[in-house]
Amino acid sequence: MKLQAILFPQVAAAAAAPLGTTPNPLSILANRESESPTIFTCAAVNWPPTSVGGLNVPQVPPPELQSMLAQVDPANIEATILKLVSFGTRHTLSTQNSTTRGIGAARDWIASEFQKYADATDGRLTVDVIGYEQPADGNRILFPVRISDVVATLHGTESPERLYVVSGHYDSRVSDVLDYESDAPGADDDASGVAISLELARIMSQPGYPRPRASIAFVAVAGEEQGLYGAQFLAQTYANATPRANVEGMFTNDIVGASKADDGTVDPYTIRLFGQGLPPLGVEDAAVRERRLTIGGESDTPARNLARLVKEVAENADTGMNVSVVYRLDRYLRGGDHRPFLEAGYPAARFTEPNEDFAHQHQDVRVDPATGKQYGDLPEFCDYDFIARVARVNGAALYSLAQSPGAPRNVRVNATALSNDSTFYWDPPAAGEEAVGSYEVVWRATPAPFWTHVMDVGLVNQVTVDLSKDNVIFGIRAKSPDGMRGAAVLPFPVS
- Dihedral pair phi/psi, residue 103, rounded to 5°: -70, -25
Task: With contacts defined by CB under 5 A, name the span among 95-103, 252-260, 265-273, 463-471 that binds Zn ion.
Answer: 252-260
CB of 221 to Zn ion, least distance (A): 10
Q: Tell me whether residue 255 or residue 472 sits nearer to Zn ion (CB atom).
A: 255
Task: With contacts defined by CB under 5 A, name the span among 154-162, 248-256, 400-408, 447-455 that binds Zn ion.
Answer: 248-256
CB of 435 to Zn ion, least distance (A): 35
Q: Does 357 bind Zn ion (CB under 5 A)?
A: no
Map residues 176-195 to x or -, x wherever contact with Zn ion holds by CB under 5 A.
-------------xx-----
Q: Tell me whether residue 194 or residue 415 sits nearer to Zn ion (CB atom).
A: 194
Q: Does 337 bind Zn ion (CB under 5 A)?
A: no
Q: Does 356 bind Zn ion (CB under 5 A)?
A: no
Q: In angstroms, rounded to a whole number, what is the distance separating the alpha carbons of residues 362 and 369?
A: 19
Q: In angstroms, rounded to a whole number, what is the distance separating the alpha carbons of residues 367 and 364?
A: 9
Q: Does 254 bind Zn ion (CB under 5 A)?
A: yes
Name 279's Cβ contacts closer than 8 Å, sequence gap at least 6: 301, 302, 303, 342, 345
Q: Tell me whether residue 190 or residue 318 sits nearer to Zn ion (CB atom).
A: 190
CB of 342 to Zn ion, least distance (A): 17
Q: Tell me whether residue 189 or residue 315 sits nearer to Zn ion (CB atom).
A: 189
CB of 219 to Zn ion, least distance (A): 14
Nearest CA among 183, 161, 202, 91 for reference residue 378:
183
Q: In angstroms, rounded to a whole number, what is the distance separating the alpha carbons of residues 453 and 455?
A: 7
Q: Tell me whether residue 58 or residue 336 sits nearer to Zn ion (CB atom).
A: 336
CB of 173 to Zn ion, least distance (A): 9
Q: In angstroms, rounded to a whole number, what is the distance separating the alpha carbons of residues 115 and 409?
A: 36
Q: Tell me whether residue 190 or residue 267 sits nearer to Zn ion (CB atom).
A: 190
Site for Zn ion in 118-137 (CB under 5 A): none
Q: Does 149 bind Zn ion (CB under 5 A)?
A: no
Q: Tell me whether residue 256 or residue 467 sits nearer to Zn ion (CB atom).
A: 256
Q: Does 312 bind Zn ion (CB under 5 A)?
A: no
CA angle (427 as vertex; 20, 441 as ends), nearest 5: 25
Q: Tell me whether residue 37 or residue 193 sits nearer to Zn ion (CB atom).
A: 193
CB of 177 to Zn ion, least distance (A): 12
Q: Does 78 bind Zn ion (CB under 5 A)?
A: no
Number of chain positions touching Zn ion (CB under 5 A): 3
CB of 434 to Zn ion, least distance (A): 41
Q: Tell me whether residue 110 or residue 445 sits nearer to Zn ion (CB atom).
A: 110
CB of 338 to Zn ion, least distance (A): 11
CB of 486 to Zn ion, least distance (A): 29
Residues that bind Zn ion (CB under 5 A): 189-190, 254
